[in-house]
Structure 1
Amino acid sequence: MAEAPPRGVLVTRPEPGCAETAAAVARLGWQPVLAPALRLRPRALTVAPVQAMLITSRAAAPALPLGPPVFAVGEASAAQARAHGHTRVTAAGGDAAALLALVRARLRPADGPLLLAVGQGYAMDLAQALRSAGFIVLRRLAYAAEPAATMPAAAQAALYNDLVSQALFLSPRSAACCITQLRDAGLAARVASIRAIAISPRVAQVLADLPWRGIEVASRPDHDTMLQLLGPHR
């Protein structure tokens, strides 16, 4: 019988969300190793009247003013918007293409501008696609994402002692920041025994800079599909 892999799973997702992912990983029988690669800080938004607000991350939900309907990229971000008092919330299928299709099916450019609440550097392609479809898009920063200064000492120790066999990555930027942290800590070579699980092909492209044991991409760009790919510890 093959020996079971080490139970450690590197969780690079920032809060809000890191604790949720860690709990889900633990329910599958793994040991979450917390290493949020980014720190998110909400920013207050003040905007002109819009017909609807769009979010591509749950981190943007706290910044949204109450009133207009919310179109969220997926169920997790929709739930976060509802938790902050929004009652008219519609979830797309989990990625920017699905959100674009939803907006084009439900809204008309003539009915007014759209607020696209994002983090710095995110959703520029979505904004351009919406503008190409005739919408006026107010792309505004709803939160600042800053790289964590270092990887937590406990995570570094787990990697150094080969206690980690899996790693979860949910965004290109968090993947890039984690790679920087691994290199700064002298741990880049340790990933040769770790399977990296990416939420999308774009994330996998960033991860290719290090010699992982393997890089697998979720068939759908959402949290639950990533966890299915991780599977239970055996």
Structure 2
Amino acid sequence: MSKGLKVYFIRHAESYNNYMKLTHRESYESYREIDPVLTSVGQDQATKLGEYMKKNWKNFEIQCVYTSPMIRTLQTAKFAFDGIDAKREVWTDIYEVRGPRRNGVPFPGSTRSQLLKMFPEFEIPNEVNENGWFFKETVETLEEAETRAKNLWNRLIGYANNKEYPFTSIALITHGKFLNFLFYFLLKEWIYKGNAFFEPLLNFYNTGVSQVILRKDLTLLESMDKVGHLPVPPRHKGGYN
């Protein structure tokens, strides 16, 4: 049997918004930034993840890392994959559920020039332009996020079954709530909510690593939300709430 495509799903390290949600829960929305950076704790988390991968490289051998166009995922990849010979690429469809926003108002996100200046080692897709990359007139709905997660699974399964796809081990650095939707499809643990919509009940640690192997007609969940690379579990766990 083919070894298939090994995919590491990684939640970004601790961001400013994660910290503010812990310390200012009641007034969080008034403090949150549209596209926050990592805290110093988050930078250390990402660095430790990178050190762990290097020490155990035979278990990873990641050839390409994909990140959302949000600053916290790009910074996580920058710290974690420092010194690791892997391709770096931005995918604009693995952003956090609802997209960049403040008080219910959507924002376009970082521009192409801004991302190239901050992260020159990353391949930036053409859909990121000088106006940004998120161009919806309203924040993303949960139903739209559900469809986006389903489409991503279909793309990854397509890569796993495509002999021309150049990689056998990849990482996706994304976000807690979007991971929630992704694993909701994988695990098929559906909780009925309302008349037509289901929502999963999963949370993910900052820099938590989940490993999935995709083979023809078979998906294997090898591990989920592992944080053994950190001396203590992260103080923030996000996704469902």
TM-score by length of structure 2 reads 0.33
Q: Determine which structure has greater relative contact order: mean sequence separation of CA pairs < 8 Å that are 6+ residues apart, divided by chain length.
A: 2
Structure with a larger share of its residues in helix: 1
Structure possessing the higher radius of gyration over alpha carbons: 1
TM-score by length of structure 1 reads 0.34
